[in-house]
Structure 1
């Protein structure tokens, strides 16, 4: 086998997870579950309600989609996307309570919770603020679950130090800043909806070997279009769509 053939074989063997943030009360959950391999399910604090969450959990199980907890700030009015000033202990309890709530719902349906991905401002602050990151890590460590976050961040460093499995995530529908952080949502053009822009973003993200999962925001009106474009690009490169948990 020559170098070109080896490169082609390596690409063909590569897999990537597609995850969607679901259970938040938006209309595309079932359709997205037909397109993804993992689902980060709302825990009922920043959005959602028990009935919607149960429905999403059951639908994910029926489709063989791996389920994770998606805890966020207690801020339904701001959809969990407004930053908060919390202590490490406050964050730990916030996350522990939400994962426990989702776990109870999941156990009732026979659906295991297999990873944790924080939502919104909790997610963003944890990438760069030590108190928030440590609280999140302390909570996740008690569950012994993998943690999703951006690659090359403070959160990743602290998670590895704590012995957690860290799964690097990227966002096809979000614009990035030069330092690799996400452009804040309140800035113009932070969320991408143009198919060509999304496609260019996807190709750049797939070139980063650290990235193990790509996120689709279930609350965006363009979610299904983004998911379909994403799947098409991934499959055109011979990459297998599969959960990072196998």
Structure 2
């Protein structure tokens, strides 16, 4: 009997981190289905939130909060050790901040994706993920949490009854434990378009990814992240959007 092939989801979400001061947001927006908007701590302010929300509404892109550490100097990519109460307030405050701006524009937050160091720490830390999920649930239990595939973020959110979307990355390499290669390492980013497209198709159609060491590991791909601050951000977004369409995959919010 032939081996059972993994079920291919004919719908895939394509998300991008936005409102972070990059000049490419308006060019990328037509190619994505979800925008993760910086809430003022690691990047952005009320003006950038308003601008990005307005863009998302124009292109019918789902609006998400992108909360990170209060650390604009390091773009939220430096790990911090905070108390449970501090982590809770960090998330809740940023969600309230973005929600207030959304309400002024008749918009609605649909998902949450932690940013940078906070995201990576939570992916491997059950307790931190639980605090983040608790803050989201207490703020708005209807929100969907975007987290690294097979990570504690997904498990903690699911345990609390939150909706989840397992995230994979088009422009980042993977380690054998399914984690992202740290940005401190030289091979962390994929800057070749063909390589990025190959990885995207492998993740979406086979639900697996090849690590930096050549090992294949299983993942769950429900939403694909593109980084808006990458050198080839617009070209990557355009190419990924086109390639997914050519493989009969519909891009829509999860």
Fold match (TM-score > 0.5)? yes
Q: Which residue of structure 1 aligns with residue 238 of structure 2?
A: 228
Q: Which residue of structure 2 aligns with residue 200 of structure 1?
A: 198
Are residues 1:87 and 2:97 paired? no
Q: Which residue of structure 2 aligns with residue 214 of structure 1?
A: 224
Aligned length: 236
Q: Which residue of structure 2 aligns with residue 57 of structure 1?
A: 53
Query: Which among 163, 166, 171 is matched to residue 164 of structure 2?
Result: 166
Kept after mapping to 2: 8 A contact 1:168/1:213: yes
Q: For each residue in 1:43-96, what CA deviation from the matched residue of structure 2 results, as whole angstroms up to 9, or x when unmatched?
A: 011011211110110111111111010000001011000111112221111000
| TM-fit CA distance, 1:210 | 2.6
- For structure 2, the residue ranges without an aligned partner over 5 or more in a row are 208-218
| TM-fit CA distance, 1:164 | 1.1
Q: Which residue of structure 1 aligns with residue 173 of structure 2?
A: 175
Kept after mapping to 2: 8 A contact 1:148/1:167: yes
Q: For each residue in 1:178-234, what CA deviation from the matched residue of structure 2 results, as whole angstroms up to 9, or x when unmatched?
A: 111000001002011111211221122112173111011111121111112211221
Q: Which residue of structure 2 aligns with residue 240 of structure 1?
A: 250
Q: For each residue in 1:76-133, what CA deviation from the matched residue of structure 2 results, as whole angstroms up to 9, or x when unmatched?
A: 0110001111122211110000000000001000110111100001111111113321
Question: More deviation in 90-99 or 208-217?
Answer: 208-217
Give the structure with the higher percent strand.
Answer: 2
Q: TM-score with structure 2 length normalisation?
A: 0.89
Q: Which runs of 4+ in 1 moved over 3 A?
A: none
| TM-fit CA distance, 1:150 | 1.2
Q: Give secondary structure in 1 for the equivalent of 2:111.
A: coil
Q: Which residue of structure 2 aligns with residue 3 of structure 1?
A: none
Distance 2:134 2:146 in 1: 14
Distance 1:60 1:156 in 2: 25
Are residues 1:24 and 2:34 paired? no
Matches within 5 A, 1:142-153: 142=138, 143-144=140-141, 145-153=143-151
| TM-fit CA distance, 1:134 | 1.7
Kept after mapping to 1: 8 A contact 2:150/2:220: no
- For structure 1, the residue ranges without an aligned partner over 5 or more in a row are 1-6
Q: Give secondary structure in 1 for the equivalent of 2:98.
A: helix
